[in-house]
Amino acid sequence: MAVLRPARPVPTPSMQTGAAGPGRATGFRRVRSHWPQYLAISPFYLLFSVFGLFPALFSLYLAFHRWDGLGEMQFVGLKNFQYLLGDGTFWLALRNTFIIWFLSTVPMLFVALAIAAMLNSTVRFTAFYRIAYFIPNITSLVAMAIFFGAVFSTNFGLVNVVLQAVHLPAVHWLTNPLGMKIVVATVTTWQWTGYNTIIYLAGLQAIPSEVYEAAKVDGAGPIQTFVRITIPLLRPIILFTVVVSTITGMQTFTEPQVLFGNNGTLTANTGGAGHGALTMVLYFYHQAFDNHDFGYGAAIAWAVFLVVMVFAAINWRLVQRRET
């Protein structure tokens, strides 16, 4: 957890807290003198301790038990975790999650940044573009699943029609393991690119125009300005999108569930043919809510937590390092 430091040293914080004199008062007085700050952050932590802490502890407790959700809990010690280490399906799900994350997050963030930069520099129709790019976020999931199921279908899908038109072989997108991951990544990218665009745009709008004026005076071209000025000033926002995409990407659940979850024949929530689109959280959901194995589900969830934490910390470090 210690690695989760702020992206950059908070600028001149000590001088803002005038009450805490240079003499460094005792711990309690220092704490007390900051009461407005504690009050300001307290709602979240209060809500968390009422609505978040109990579920978290409960799930930890569950991870050491066998429980079907209704009957008596049975203590099994570390058995769930032992099983997890040898569970090939979990490791497959871990691998799938990383592949899908990579295939979706990398293009998504780059495209979003490019669109945001273009939107920021155009004057006309900006409201129209913003609304249009945000539409995927409010498109019904069911519509999305049917639509992309049709686009990627083997015999009649648009993608294969195009492939065959340029004399490439058709791909079984919905049953081939890599194809399935590409489909999930495509849908994720489609749905969340506009959202990240809006985030970047909000960040770009906060950059004062004088900064650009100055660059113009110095004779910097548009690309140079973007790389040398825009990107560094946007760093807190980029860090935000990278960390959030990492956390949410590692928890990818909805897209594979909707696309490959219930096709009528296969067992629900197993990620389609050959577990090709089975992600970690989908596997957790399957164990808990389809197999009614809440203890093992909780163990998986904590493993997901661990993976997310380590990976988010690595990404945080990577983005942060470039800065210095």
| Helix-then-strand count for the chain, H and E | 16, 2
Tokens of 266: 């296969």
Based on the shown chain and the rule CB under 8 A, indicate whether residue 304 belongs to the binding site for another protein: yes
Can you give the length of the chain in residues?
324
Nearest to another protein of 36, 321 (CB atom)? 36
Based on the shown chain and the rule CB under 8 A, indicate whether residue 223 belongs to the binding site for another protein: no
CA distance 160 to 216: 47
Based on the shown chain and the rule CB under 8 A, indicate whether residue 73 belongs to the binding site for another protein: yes
Nearest to another protein of 115, 182 (CB atom)? 115
Q: Measuring CA to CA, how many Å separate 284 from each of 96, 98, 248? A: 14, 16, 15
Nearest to another protein of 267, 324 (CB atom)? 267
Based on the shown chain and the rule CB under 8 A, indicate whether residue 51 belongs to the binding site for another protein: yes
Could you say which of 22, 23, 55, 219 contacts another protein (CB under 8 A)?
A: 55
Minimum distance of another protein from residue 168's CB (angstroms): 19
Cα torsion 251, 259, 241, 138 to 10°: value is: -120
Minimum distance of another protein from residue 45's CB (angstroms): 7
**Amino acid found at 92:** L
The label of the residue with tokens 């709008």 reads 205
CA distance 179 to 171: 7
Binding to another protein (CB under 8 A) within 4-23 occurs at: 4-8, 10-18
Minimum distance of another protein from residue 283's CB (angstroms): 11
Based on the shown chain and the rule CB under 8 A, indicate whether residue 64 belongs to the binding site for another protein: yes
What lies within 8 Å, CB to CB, of 24 at 6+ separation is 30
Residue 74: enclosing H or E segment and its boundaries?
Answer: strand 74-75
Based on the shown chain and the rule CB under 8 A, indicate whether residue 142 belongs to the binding site for another protein: yes
Based on the shown chain and the rule CB under 8 A, indicate whether residue 107 belongs to the binding site for another protein: no
Based on the shown chain and the rule CB under 8 A, indicate whether residue 91 belongs to the binding site for another protein: no
Could you say which of 68, 102, 110, 168 contacts another protein (CB under 8 A)?
A: 68
Secondary structure of the chain: what % helix, strand, coil (to 5)? 70, 0, 30
Residue 98 φ/ψ, nearest 5 degrees: -65, -45
Nearest to another protein of 106, 211 (CB atom)? 211
The stretch near another protein (CB under 8 A) out of 30-38, 98-106, 162-170, 218-226 is: 30-38
End-to-end CA distance of the chain: 21
CA distance 118 to 120: 5
Binding to another protein (CB under 8 A) within 228-257 occurs at: 233-237, 239-240, 243-244, 247, 251, 253
Binding to another protein (CB under 8 A) within 170-209 occurs at: 172, 174-177, 190, 193-195, 198-199, 201-203, 205-207, 209
Binding to another protein (CB under 8 A) within 111-130 occurs at: 115, 118-127, 129-130
DSSP secondary-structure letter at 208?
-
Q: Phi-psi region for residue 122, left (φ > 0), alpha (ψ -120 to 50) or beta?
A: beta
Based on the shown chain and the rule CB under 8 A, indicate whether residue 140 belongs to the binding site for another protein: yes
Residue 266 φ/ψ, nearest 5 degrees: -70, 155
Nearest to another protein of 163, 177 (CB atom)? 177
The stretch near another protein (CB under 8 A) out of 75-83, 93-101, 162-170, 218-226 is: 75-83
Could you say which of 226, 231, 309, 320 contacts another protein (CB under 8 A)?
A: 309
Tokens of 67: 């429980």
Size of the site for another protein (CB under 8 A): 152
